[in-house]
Structure 1
């Protein structure tokens, strides 16, 4: 029985087809058929295909007149014998286990569609397509818009019964994938995601690609996108009877189409400075908006942005005739907006909307020009004001450097919080015992006055000791006197994920120049154990003799019985349902960099955990502080056993009521090891995370607990008593031996002993 049919449309790919076929014939799943559709190639592609047909009996070769990739794929679907169908482009490559992973996921989860991660590659490098890595588990397009951002066919597996009547639309030469995939999403009962790399997509450097199509023929892309919208709109209306679901799907799909398929060619048309192309493109957008329901226009944030901000930012490229077309486009859009939309546009865009309203009312684009002139002048004044502020701060610092160093002055500075927390709080509390120590504190605050900022830089210049706990931008590039100690009291214990200079060249890293500015002024670094000193030396490019394993001040709390008893009682008083229960704490780290860190998809299935383990367990969710958009919604029936404490200030306090910690790549394991309680490592996306950050140690040998990749694994470990604390004790001694309850005292003694030097 054929388990999977792999359909490969081919057109003039003699340079690549051999690599593609090699990756298919070497798949770990053997019960497959390979259907190669030669769509009228004029090069030597067929000769290479024929050679493979002689060697492999499961390859079916079909030659047809050139009719386009959609026609070729449809031909393959009609003759496919497999229970499932996969698609592969003829210049791309499959990882060896790609089809097996998809098939296994489909069978085990009774899925109609399986979708997974993918990488792009060229002659120099490979990199992940982040939108395609959606974790492990079921997703429903009705409720999860992220499926709209993985709309290609080649990272998926389709049940043949699902798609045998869903053809690729042969009218489309752009975006045919997304129409086919969207129709399939709408018909599917179950869509299952796996967080593994299933595909290598070749980014051609010198030949045709979708990006080049947008660049070379943006008007064609716009016309095709308009047709795509009409098709998908009809599909939504015919597949869903619920009007609320219809409207929601339309808006979410429309925003995706506008972001990925309409704005890029519009932008390219504007940049071209070609009047004919600009007018045609803007007119097509006008017609597109004209046919949209008013509700779709005023609910689509992306559409409003394109018309009122996106095009305006490229106004200088418009010709005179194009400007007239743009005014008509503005009028059409404004007339379709409701009062609430107009209000929020005015609120969020300041005086821009006043000029747009005048432009529309008086039918004159001069008001757009007046707005741009006003903004230019305003930005110029802001620039001058900002430069003047920077000059004042530098003068305050330089003036301070001419003053004597105050040997008793210790400045604590952080941008992590607007309150004194963790290490700096413990240090400050201990320093307060000494009357002759002058402590200055500067916290995260965006509203500091010029006077306060000048005082801050003066304190930096005149302090004997400056203690930081993370990257600290206000000091980037500043140089201190030789006898000043700038001490990095890094916010994480141990050495787990690579950071600073060690992380350069990984996906989520800064440049060499950025790291130099951030870390070159450190004179000392504090760590939790001598074992990790070499890693901090490399990470901050500081001599290892200046890396001091004093221990981490905030860990002193684990040796204060009275304090621990007080905190435990306080938590139990606030959350009495945890008393007498076994508490599981799920504390994953963030993913990605920059704004990506704000979002996190919960892959732990709290329903399954509680249903399988029973009501004697409590599951506490504690996401990383960088995650501000978590979308955690706990069903009412589980609220007695599942608690979201992501906003709780100190995870170390939660450790005191925790029986089992579930994490992934978070450095919280070092502090938790001090309690010698069991841990589970839920590493469902290990491969992609290795590309993102990587580790100082081999992950599988390093972590002091069992590694699981799905929720079944979590349940199995806990239910069958497979937890082990022996490895945790060894881990603690190796990485946390200096955290013995005296860490703060050692650092304070260092300050006292060196303040006169």
Structure 2
């Protein structure tokens, strides 16, 4: 039996309002030779019934029903069984342009890429407004990247300005398996450690300047409100650092990596809801106290800019959030 050209992994948790559009954007793709793996991640609404209805009608659909284990673990389950030459991801509240997979597959196949990236576009569920931003447009990749195959070395100076979203890329399945690619499990912001590890392991990358993926913004979106979910920015940053160190990427990227690691939780502490400020501060402090006792502590002192360095040292200096805030009112 020949492999499907693309395996699409769709993970859904309580998406009854949106799952129809997500599934239809896959079943109606102009590329017919695809595998659709739908993971019902413990939904308690009508999501499972809607998924089953489509699975009965389309033999390309495989359904995994499970208790709620989160997006990272769900995607890992999907990757473990994916048979396609290439693998892509779709969230249960988003959707794809109907010719996206055909164009992306032909690009990836013709250039023999490990990763092919394309643009995402935002959709505001409340107003129906469709709007672009520089990050999802991949605007950091200028016209010199058009039509070529490139390596991560070509983006070394702005690696941390690239969009980490796993949904705006397709990946060669054999490549993912060869590097044991996996998402961190049990935390939000799972895309970040996954992206940087996979991207830096890749040898052949290309981009397509078309908006293939529609990203829905609505009140239940994880990234819509900076709330307790953002506590996971600390663990996601720790996992990112582990992957850089364990895979020999650290020395080449430490200046930008350390800044990136500090900045995520720092910005979250500014914007997070009041009830989560103290818990987030405590997690950051615990992390920084650990760093202080490692061989990497001096790198933080040597490489951080003034604002981030002050934040880093003040978190270590003050015993609790109240004391820290007295001296850093912007947080």
Task: Give matches, 1:388-467, under 5 Å.
Answer: none
2:214 is the alignment partner of 1:200 = yes
Q: Partner of 2:115 in structure 1? A: 113
Is 1:272 aligned to residue 286 of structure 2?
Answer: no
What corresponds to 1:258 in structure 2?
262
Matched with 1:140 is 151
CA distance in 2, matches of 1:273, 1:16: 30
Q: Deviations over 1:537-565 (max 9, x none)?
A: xxxxxxxxxxxxxxxxxxxxxxxxxxxxx
Distance in 2 between residues matched to 1:50 and 1:160, nearest whole Å: 26
- Alignment match, 1:221: 230
Pair 1:182-2:196 in alignment:
yes
Matched residue count:
310
Counterpart selection for 1:12 from 11, 14, 28: 14
Contact persistence 1:275–1:321 (CA under 8 A): no
Instruction: Indicate if the aligned counterparts of 2:42 and 2:66 stay in contact, CA closer than 8 A.
Output: yes
What corresponds to 1:154 in structure 2? 167
Change (3 A) 1:141 1:288: farther
Render the CA deviation track for 1:19-44: whole Å, top value 9, x for unaligned: 11111111111111111111111111
Tell me the alpha carbon deviations over residues 488-542 of structure 1, each in whole angstroms, 9 at most, x when there is no partner: xxxxxxxxxxxxxxxxxxxxxxxxxxxxxxxxxxxxxxxxxxxxxxxxxxxxxxx
State the secondary structure of the residue aligned to 2:91: coil
Q: Which has the higher contact order (CA 8 A, sep 6+)?
A: 2
Instruction: Structure 2: state its 5+ residue gaps.
Output: none
**1:108 Cα deviation after fit:** 1.5
Q: What is the CA-CA distance between 1:202 and the residue it aligns to?
A: 0.6
Instruction: Specify the alignment match of 1:700 in structure 2.
Output: none
Contact 2:40–2:65 under 8 Å retained in 1: yes
2:246 to 221, 238, 252: 238
SS in 1 for 2:166: coil
Structure whose alpha-carbon radius of gyration is higher? 1
Go from structure 1 to structure 2 and tell me whether the alpha carbon gap of 1:288 and 1:29 turns closer, same or farther (over 3 Å shift). Answer: farther
Deviation at 1:230, TM superposition (A): 3.3
Deviations 1:599-647 (A, max 9, x none): xxxxxxxxxxxxxxxxxxxxxxxxxxxxxxxxxxxxxxxxxxxxxxxxx
The residue matched to 1:193 in structure 2 has which SS? strand
Q: Give 1:279 deviation, angstroms.
A: 5.4
1:130 to partner: Cα distance: 1.4
- Is 1:130 matched up with 2:134? yes
The answer as to whether partners of 1:153 and 1:177 remain within 8 angstroms in 2 is: yes
Question: How many angstroms does 1:288 deviate by?
Answer: 6.1
Partner of 1:60: 62
Aligned to 1:92: 94
The DSSP-based 3-state class of the residue aligned with 1:194 is strand
* TM-score of the pair, normalised by structure 1: 0.38
CA contact (8 A) 2:266 2:311 kept: no
Partners of 2:243 and 2:277 lie apart in 1 by 36
> 1:30–1:210: structure 2 CA closer, same or farther, 3 Å change rule?
same
Counterpart secondary structure, 1:154: helix
Q: Which runs of 5+ in 1 are unaligned?
A: 313-318, 328-364, 373-757
CA distance, structure 2, for counterparts of residue 129 and residue 90 of structure 1: 22
Instruction: Return the alpha-carbon distance in structure 1 between the equivalents of residues 244 and 191 of structure 2.
Output: 17
After TM superposition, give the deviation of residue 221 of structure 1 in Å: 3.0
CA RMSD of aligned residues (A): 3.1
Quote the offset at 1:255 in angstroms: 2.6
Supply the distance in 2 between the matched residues of 1:321 and 1:167 (Cα, whole angstroms). 35
Deviation for aligned residue 1:320: 11
Separation of aligned partners in 2, 1:274 and 1:68:
21
Give the match's secondary structure for 2:32. Answer: coil
Q: Contact (CA 8 Å) 1:37, 1:62: kept in 2 or not?
A: yes
| Conserved 8 A contact 2:90-2:167 | yes
Q: CA deviation at 1:94?
A: 0.2
TM, length-normalised to structure 2: 0.82
Q: Residue 49 of structure 2 corresponds to which residue in structure 1?
A: 47
| Alpha-carbon spacing, 1:288–1:151, altered in 2? closer, same or farther (3 Å) | farther
SS in structure 1 at match of 2:193 = helix
Q: CA deviation at 1:208?
A: 4.0
* 3-state SS in 1 of match to 2:167: coil
Q: 1:39 to 1:201 in 2, by over 3 A?
A: same
1:168 and 2:191 are equivalent in the alignment: no
Residue in 2 aligned with 1:293?
297
> Any conservation in 2 of the 1:152–1:178 contact (CA below 8 Å)?
yes
Equivalent in 191, 214, 222 of residue 209 of structure 1: 222
